[in-house]
Chains A and B, each alone.
Chain A
Amino acid sequence: MTIQTENNIKIQRFFFGEMAEEERFEFEQTFAANPDLLEEMRAFEADLIEKYVRGWMSAAEKLKFEQHFLNTEKRRQKVEFSRQLIDELRQETNDEAKKVSIWNKIAGLFLTPKIEMATAVSIFILIFGGWFLLKNYETEKIEIVKNENSANAEISNRNKNIAVNTVNSNRQSETNRSTNLETNSTNVSVSLPTPTKTPEPKKTPIPKTAPNPVLALFAGTLRDGGEINELNLPKNSSGATFRLNLKTVDYQTFQAQITDGNGKIIYRSGNLKPQKSVINLFVPAKNLDKGDYRINLYGKNATGENESAADFQFRVN
């Protein structure tokens, strides 16, 4: 337990960049030779990421984490993965909870002592009511047999009442019913309920989102006539896709950065993989105000260094 605590302190110092180089290297040699310690470090790293993603870090911790941990793309991807994983699992938890709660509610109705009593009474009423109706029905049948003429008159009156009570839209069906009543007097025992029209479900308006425009760009910045490529970005679009056409594909992975007219970097992409000689680069609309922009495309060489690969230019209207 003491060793574990000691390890935890060391691991924490390691991840927050609090170890001097010599101590750090010594620790690296230790974890490289000790698979259990390495596993523990990975678990610690996962915990740290979870704390960050779920907003459980203090401001100071968050700052340290962003300065010392989120400085490589690989780690940022890890953070993104955690965010998606936790969201997805929490979603499943919520879905399960909903399912369980519906059944719990139904089951709960029969488990409360008060409701148990009410249920028993309801069942009794149902049985008794059923018996009562059946008894009346039998009596009525006898009456009908006794005096056929009076029975027909009664039925005709009932049909009139039904016709008055029925909503206009269901007139036709009610007429059919009354015809049935007239032709088969033995079916009449209880007055029919007035049918109600099921209200149509309210249609939720679908938010209108403009499609994201696609702009094809070719290395060499300007169009043939010396004109700049223009992008018309609709107000409601979430962003634009740039199809960057390369003359040659000399790298497996690329990275792009976009600068505005003042040379300020307004967007930086993750790793981009070319499809044949085209790279698709999606840029969120929030990064694209009206103005001129330049895309600098960098290719990653075998040792992971960025080399300038191509430039593209465009204007947002």
Chain B
Amino acid sequence: MSDNLSKTDFERFLQTLDSNKEKAAEKYLALRSSLESFFEWRDCENTEELTDIVFDRVIKKIIEGEFIENITAFSISIAKFVVMEYKRKSLRNVDLEEVSDTVNFAESFESDDLKARKLNCLKKCLAQLSDKKRKLLIEYYDTEESTMIAKRKSLAEKLELNLNSLRIRVSRLRSKLEECTKDCCGK
């Protein structure tokens, strides 16, 4: 968030989200997460910074006294403009993304050193998971293409879930692991 905005401005913004402080904080985090995904899926790199820009603009509008009926919809509209600005600026600058001639860049993008460091961190993060969660991940990925649906359905039944809920549960667990790995590598 920009330096021009004070703590009171931010509190006022939270108040607009919900009169209950805890609920407001939850709504803020949910909106933040949606915006970050929005930017990520719009092919932006610095999703956190762009999300901050959106919040700065929304808060400014609130301070200026604008009545915002639906903050989520309003924020997404602002986010769309931020993306357009970002893309325009990116075009003016050196576009490194288009110059790669590496065929399988997904495999060769990271250096071996970095890969090794990340793997080490991943192992640490996996070790921090409870046995139950680790077992869930192991069982979920212990499949081949031909048996995937049947195996995952059976795993979901065992856990008294439907297949979709199981996918979402695993996806959340993966996200947490990814965050943990990033934090570990950043240290």
**What residues make up the interface of A, taking CB atoms closer than 8 Å to B?**
4, 14-15, 25, 28-29, 31-33, 35, 38-43, 46-47, 50, 52, 54, 56, 66, 70-82, 84-86, 88-90, 92-93, 96, 238-239, 241, 255, 257, 264-270, 280-284, 298, 300, 302-308
Contacting pair B37 A80 (CB below 8 A): no
Q: Are A88 and B126 in contact, CB atoms less than 8 angstroms apart?
A: yes
**Residue in chain B with minimal CB distance to A282:** B111
Task: Enumerate chain A residues within 8 angstroms of B119, measured Cβ to Cβ.
Answer: 84, 88
Chain B, residue nearest A256 (CB): B96
Interface stretch, picked from B7-15, B16-24, B99-107, is B99-107
Chain A residues with Cβ below 8 Å from B170 are 43, 46
**CB interface residues, B 159-187, toward A, < 8 Å:** 164, 167-168, 170-172, 174-175, 177-178, 181
The listed residue (B101, B111, B118, B141) touching A269 by CB distance below 8 A is B111
Residues in A whose Cβ lies below 8 Å from that of B41: 14-15, 28
Q: Which residues of chain A have C-beta atoms less than 8 A from B70's C-beta?
A: 33
Q: Which 5 pairs across A and B sit closest by C-beta, in order of nearness?
A: A304-B46, A282-B111, A43-B171, A32-B34, A43-B167
CB-defined contacts of A268 to chain B, threshold 8 Å: 96, 99-100, 102, 109
Do the beta carbons of A84 and B34 come within 8 Å of each other?
no
Chain A residue with Cβ nearest B148? A56
Docked pose: A267 CA to B115 CA in angstroms: 17
Q: Which residue of B lies closest to A66 (CB)?
A: B106
Residue of B at shortest CB range from A269? B111
In contact, A305 and B90 (Cβ under 8 angstroms): yes
Contacts of A264 in B (CB 8 A): 101
Residue of A nearest to B145 (CB): A56
Query: Would you call B150 an interface residue if the criterion is a C-beta within 8 Å of the partner chain's C-beta atoms?
Result: no
Checking A29, A71, A88, A302 against B73 with a beta-carbon cut-off of 8 angstroms, the contacting residue is A29
Shortest C-beta distance, B59 to chain A (Å), equals 18
Given A80-B109, A265-B101, A270-B114, A304:B49 Cβ within 8 A: yes
- Docked CA distance A305–B141 (Å): 38
Contact A84 B38 (CB under 8 A): no
Among the listed A28, A54, A238, which residue makes an inter-chain contact with B145, where contact means beta carbons less than 8 Å apart?
Answer: A54
Question: Is the pair B94, A298 in contact by a Cβ cutoff of 8 Å?
Answer: yes
What are 22 A-B pairs with beta-carbon distances under 8 A? A14-B41, A25-B80, A28-B41, A32-B73, A39-B168, A40-B168, A43-B171, A76-B105, A82-B174, A85-B122, A85-B137, A85-B141, A88-B123, A96-B138, A265-B99, A265-B100, A265-B101, A268-B96, A282-B114, A284-B112, A304-B49, A304-B86
